[in-house]
Amino acid sequence: MDDAARVTLVEDDPTVRTVVGDYLRAAGYAVDQYADGVTAQRALNKGLPDVLIVDRMLPGLSGDELCREVRERSDIPIIMLTALDAVDERIRGLETGADDYITKPFALRELQLRVQAQLRRRAAPTAAPIEFAVGPFRIDPGHRRVWARGREVALTAREYELLFYLSRHPDRALSRDELLREVWGWGFGDASTVTVHVRRLREKIEDDPRFPCHLHTEWGAGYRFTVEPRC
């Protein structure tokens, strides 16, 4: 088990925690389990896992707060569990920095596949490690680093993958379904996932996210990344 991917599960419901933990262990993962946000925070300060699965509603320190804190210092994949099914609530969860979410109740096999997809996409090379420039952006696939107008931009793993895919398809309208499929690896999913990540990416690469020059919304079609500024 030394080379097994490590998953940290933070869930206050003992039944859910036990069932999910046992299932993921049976699938070959090394799993650490915590029942509250404060205990999990202490453990995560000592070392981060390969994937973090966190419930939004936790005693002591909420899942949202824990997610924000981890995201400030790491781009590890974060999957959020939530019993809040409203679109606005799911968006708020994603805006804390989560890469993915699953609404309770959920199928254990689906959660395992989401974990597997996060690990696979993180490990797979996105391109030959050769830096390239696209408009005012410079991208280093070998080290997954991005510069915008000469300034390095700190992106999460998912934000980097989204920008990388957009930069390889400039001046083309890309639907949310296509982005979910190609960037997230999902055959289906909630389009709000893409919406939130596009918003976060704009905040990091655009001079004024309210009036983007490069990452545009194409109403009814999706998004278009333009090399030449259009603002």
pLDDT tens for each residue of 206-215? 999 999 999 9
SS3 163: helix
Q: Report percent pLDDT > 90 for the chain.
A: 61
Pairing of strands 145-148, 173-174: unpaired
Parse the chain into domains and list their residue ranges.
6-123, 132-225
Q: What pLDDT is stored for residue 1 in this prediction?
A: 45
Handedness of CA 49, 52, 57, 63 (dihedral sign): positive
In tens, the pLDDT along 21-65 reads 999 999 999 999 999 999 999 999 999 999 999 999 899 999 999
Give the predicted TM-score (pTM) of the model: 0.68
CATH 3.40.50.2300 is the classification of domain 6-123:
yes
Distance CA 100, CA 121 (A): 13
Q: What pLDDT is stored for residue 175 in this prediction?
A: 94
What phi and psi, each to the nearest 5 degrees, are found at residue 95?
A: -70, -15
Q: Which residues of 87-119 are buried (b: 16+ CB within 10 A; e: fewer)?
A: eeebbebbebbbbbbebeeeeeeebbebbbbbb
Sheet with 6-10: list strands edge to edge: 30-34, 6-10, 51-55, 78-82, 100-103
Q: Choose the CATH number for 132-225 among 3.40.50.970, 3.30.930.10, 1.10.10.10, 3.50.50.60.
A: 1.10.10.10
Distance CA 213, CA 210 (A): 10
**Whether 100 contacts 114, CB under 8 Å:** yes
**Whether 230 contacts 212, CB under 8 Å:** no
Q: What pLDDT is stored for residue 85 in this prediction?
A: 67
pLDDT at 132 over 80: yes
List Cβ neighbours of 219 (8 Å cut-off, separation of 6 or more). none
